[in-house]
């Protein structure tokens, strides 16, 4: 059994850094959101680089601005958005594990590309579980430490289980961060599985949805991404509240679509066109306001095959051992 020890002291928490394991599942019927990492790809690789099981608790860092003081020697890895990382002022690489010693200062600067990065530590952060998960859902004030984002002065416990392997994910195997953090030329395509009230939207609105370019608005967070573009409203007046799955594209009466993410409300009554597949949600979560978004259709068989393929590809990927 791993011993729990104080691992880090938070010197600076950043705009919103939240402890996340793989998510809180099985409790949506009681109204609890799933939580969990928005970019599951980057989260997965951070765990693999630390030789962790792929459900261990990591920190999801929004934008950057995090400073931690190590209280014990361990191994860590940072993946995802391109944030400059230093240990005691010395520049360190993303997508590979790093040794850190007690007393060292880890600084994660602000991102130049992408929005979210994942900091995993060997053995995982040790956080009390609520309903089987450590995931922080700030809106519900649960999970993590007191249901909130990281605050200066907090001590982060870790499971002391130091692996001596220093690993790297080859550049060709890394997920591509497609968007810059500021409004730029970036454009992403999200594949949507038509479903829910799809057939009830007028034909013309469905065509408009798949042929137009939308822009990520300023209202984008862990609950959902609001997009601006042509009016694709359904004309459906009232709908009984129903369960909402990850990636559901709901269209309120103003005709502006919202892609619902991990911290979404569990039920709601707006008409939905379908859902964005999870592989593409990882990409969307790295995009900030101004990013251009287009939608394309995917069939149920394709979507299912994508999940299995992506998983197979990940599991087969060998990490590079840097200290052989």
Binding interface with other proteins (CB under 8 A): 25-32, 34, 130-131, 140-142, 193-196, 240-248, 265-268, 274-275, 277-278, 300, 303-304, 306-308, 311
CB of 211 to other proteins, least distance (A): 22
Nearer to other proteins, 91 or 301 (CB): 301
Max Cα separation, the chain?
64
The DSSP 8-state label assigned to residue 3 in this structure reads E
Nearer to other proteins, 172 or 238 (CB): 238
Distance between CA atoms of residues 193 and 210, nearest Å: 12
Q: For residue 211, which phi and psi values (nearest 5 degrees)?
A: -110, -5
From the CB of residue 2, how many other CB atoms can be counted at a distance below 10 Å? 13
CA proximity to 151, closest of 315, 16, 6, 305: 16
CB of 47 to other proteins, least distance (A): 18
Tokens in use for 252?
A: 């309120």
Nearer to other proteins, 103 or 253 (CB): 253
CB of 154 to other proteins, least distance (A): 19
CB of 285 to other proteins, least distance (A): 16
Distance between CA atoms of residues 181 and 127, nearest Å: 30
Give the chain's end-to-end CA distance (angstroms, integer).
27
CB of 324 to other proteins, least distance (A): 33
Nearer to other proteins, 106 or 145 (CB): 145
CB of 139 to other proteins, least distance (A): 8
Nearer to other proteins, 8 or 198 (CB): 198
From the CB of residue 140, how many other CB atoms can be counted at a distance below 10 Å? 16
CB of 190 to other proteins, least distance (A): 12
Tokens in use for 256?
A: 């502006």
Nearer to other proteins, 187 or 306 (CB): 306
CA proximity to 97, closest of 52, 160, 144: 52
Nearer to other proteins, 21 or 82 (CB): 21
Query: Cα–chain-centroid distance for residue 34?
Result: 12
Pair 72, 26: CB distance under 8 Å:
no
Beta-bridge mates of residue 145: 148
Distance between CA atoms of residues 84 and 87, nearest Å: 10
Strands 258-260 and 214-220: unpaired
Pair 205, 274: CB distance under 8 Å:
no
CB of 45 to other proteins, least distance (A): 19
Nearer to other proteins, 146 or 231 (CB): 146
CB of 18 to other proteins, least distance (A): 17
CA proximity to 72, closest of 200, 161, 149, 154: 161
CA proximity to 122, closest of 173, 73, 65: 73
Nearer to other proteins, 78 or 279 (CB): 279
């Amino acid at each position: 059994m791993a011993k729990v020890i104080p691992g880090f002291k938070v010197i600076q928490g950043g705009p919103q850094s939240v402890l996340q394991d793989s998510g809180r599942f099985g409790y949506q019927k009681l109204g609890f959101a799933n939580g969990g990492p928005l970019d599951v790809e980057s989260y997965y690789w951070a765990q693999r680089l630390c030789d962790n099981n792929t459900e261990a608790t990591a920190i999801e860092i929004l934008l950057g601005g995090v400073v931690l003081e190590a209280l014990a020697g361990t191994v860590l890895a940072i993946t995802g958005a391109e944030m400059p990382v230093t240990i005691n002022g010395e520049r360190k690489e993303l997508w590979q594990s790093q040794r850190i010693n007690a007393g060292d200062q880890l600084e994660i600067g602000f991102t130049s590309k992408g929005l979210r990065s994942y900091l995993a530590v060997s053995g995982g952060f040790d956080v009390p579980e609520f309903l089987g998960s450590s995931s922080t859902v700030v809106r519900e004030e649960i999970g993590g430490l007191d249901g909130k984002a990281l605050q200066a002065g907090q001590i982060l416990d870790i499971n002391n289980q130091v692996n001596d392997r220093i690993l790297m994910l080859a550049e060709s195997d890394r997920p591509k961060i497609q968007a810059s953090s500021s409004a730029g030329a970036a454009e992403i395509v999200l594949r949507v599985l038509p479903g829910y009230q799809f057939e009830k939207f007028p034909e013309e609105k469905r065509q408009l949805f798949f042929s137009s370019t939308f822009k990520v608005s300023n209202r984008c967070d862990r609950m959902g991404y609001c997009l601006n573009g042509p009016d694709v409203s359904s004309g459906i007046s009232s709908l009984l509240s129903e369960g909402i799955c990850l990636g559901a594209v709901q269209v309120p009466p103003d005709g502006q679509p919202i892609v619902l993410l991990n911290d979404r409300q569990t039920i709601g009554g707006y008409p939905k066109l379908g859902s964005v597949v999870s592989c593409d949600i990882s990409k969307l979560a790295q995009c900030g306001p101004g990013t251009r978004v287009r939608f394309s259709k995917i069939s149920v068989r394709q979507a299912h095959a994508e999940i299995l393929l992506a998983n197979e590809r990940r599991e087969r990927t060998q990490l590079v051992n840097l200290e052989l």
